[in-house]
Amino acid sequence: MKEKFQELFRNKKRLTLTLIFGPAVLSIIVGCVVALADPRDALYVSLICMCLTYPIVLLFINIVALIWSIKYPQRLLPGTYESKIFGLMDLVTVFIGTILSLFYAALISATIDLQWNAVWSEQLHNREIHQPMWTGALPAVIALLAVGIIGYIVLLTRKLSNTPPLITVLCMGAIYIGITQILLFMIQLFKITPFEGLAYSSNSIPLFWLAPLMELPFCLISMAARLIIRKVYEWNQDEEHFEELYGGEGFMADLNGILDNSFSWPIAAVIAMIPLLGVILGILSLFGQYPDHVIRAWTETAQWNLSRMKAPPNVAMDEHYLCTVAAGGHERIVKPIRMGERHGHRIVVNRQLLIANAFEQVLEENTPRMHRAIRDFYDKHGYPVARHIRTKSAADIVYYIMKPLEWIFLIVLYMTDPHPENRIATQYISKHEEEQI
């Protein structure tokens, strides 16, 4: 096995093709196997496998490359085979890794009901989860990430022999700023305990679903670390530094002289990061992104590791579509009255829902056969309708459509019940409240 691996590594073309297309081929094979059982799921499963296998391969390659750069930095100098193959995989990591991560993020959002646009104060339903990053500070986060990318590109493309050490250190400081945002993202998503405030209890570990989203950030950190290690080693290997091009005079000359020792660059970059960050935050404040937005992007959230806000508990929104209307429509239209209880969990109720349930109760008491027929029809067609009511506007439309039926239900109640309003008022109350009444 070891000899085959060494042979594969020596065969440059075969290694390159294996690294780039191997995970894709594996995903297709798995999809074909699934197609034997259910052809409708073949494409879906193939995409899922691609999202899971390819990032793992990229993560493994980046870990190997990072260890390699620490142990054999000379093999990553420009022009070597290792630098070319790892450089190619870096491009694959950035482009394909980003596409697959976005696809997986969309998939996981539907799976665990993650609402990327829901701020911490927004009322959510059932098992929906608030955004992990405050969108109000998104421009500031993007700007800091962009600074890190620019620093990486400049450091990657500039030749060190005629580049002032101060510029190199500032580029490293810019990379640190971008890495800081990536680390905060990973810490925010590294959640082991179940989410709080959900309408239904959940014992699932969020990290099981969120871990794949942290693979690309780790790869980006690995790429940045490898570049810094390579540049430090490259400077020490270059015997001729063109000091006349970057030496300067006075303070700048002294500063460049101090930084002539490349081993001090990673530490100096931490110091350089502070004034650089100050300048960036000053520019961002001109566009309404104040300095505290950098921190609030992660703390102005609820239910996550760095969150400091307490979100309102989720409201149970039953698949009964009148329950969905009561909980999901605009308040000024559907007019929610109070909280009620249905099937053991709390729901929002409005008068339309109370009247409909009171009518069903009267129907069950007086004409049980008709009630069963109507109930079966409602269960068969009502629940599928409820699954499509995903916006407030859709709930409002259903509310207006149900208005004529609400009036009919109310007329029947007033004609059959001596105390119709009492019956309406006691719908969806808990057993404890019922006993008190």
Q: What is the DSSP string of 351-362?
A: HHHHHHHHHHHH
DSSP string across 5-63: HHHHHH-HHHHHHHHHHHHHHHHHHHHHHHHHH-GGGHHHHHHHHHHHHHHHHHHHHHH
For the segment 291-312, the average pLDDT, to the nearest whole number, is 88
CA distance 60 to 55: 9
The predicted pLDDT at position 27 comes to: 63
**3-class SS string, 130-174:** CCCCCHHHHHHHHHHHHHHHHHHHHHHHCCHHHCCHHHHHHHHHH
Q: What is the mean pLDDT of residues 109-128?
A: 80
Phi, psi of 316, rounded to the nearest 5 degrees:
-70, 125
Which residue ranges make up each domain of the chain? 113-299, 321-436
Which of 76-90, 104-118, 127-141, 201-215 tops mean pLDDT? 127-141
d(CA 209, CA 223): 25
Burial of 210 (0-12, 13-18, 19+ CB in 10 A): buried
State pLDDT tens for residues 190-243: 988 888 877 666 677 888 888 888 989 999 999 999 999 888 888 777 655 555
Query: What is the b/e burial string over 388-411, where b = at least 16 CB atoms within 10 angstroms of the residue's CB?
Result: ebeeeebbbebbeebeeebeebbe
Q: Residue 1 — pLDDT band, cuts 50, 70, 90? A: very low
- Section 58-87 average pLDDT: 79
Residue 298 has pLDDT above 90, yes or no: yes
Structure tokens at 82: 């290792």
β-bridge mates for residue 339, sequence order: 348
CB crowding 122-148: b at 16 or more within 10 Å, else e: eebbbbbbbbbbbeebeebbebbbebb
Q: d(Cα 5, Cα 218) in Å, to the nearest integer?
A: 25
| 205's tokens | 């570990």
Distance, CA of 295 to CA of 110 (rounded, Å): 28
pLDDT at 141 (0 to 100): 92
For the entire predicted model, the pTM comes to 0.70
More confident residue, 5 or 47: 47
Find the mean pLDDT for residues 259-280: 82
Phi/psi at 318 (5° precision): -65, 155
Average pLDDT, the chain: 77
Please give the sequence-ordered ranges of beta strands (E in DSSP) within 263-389, or none if there are none.
336-342, 345-350
Q: Who has greater pLDDT, 177 or 291?
A: 177
Is residue 26 very low, low, confident or very high in pLDDT (cuts 50, 70, 90)? low
* φ/ψ (deg, to 5) at 54: -60, -50
Name the burial class of residue 431, with classes exposed (0-12), middle (13-18) and buried (19+) by CB atoms within 10 angstroms of its CB: exposed
Strands 345-350 and 336-342: antiparallel
The strand pairing partners of 42, in sequence order, are: none
d(CA 180, CA 273): 11
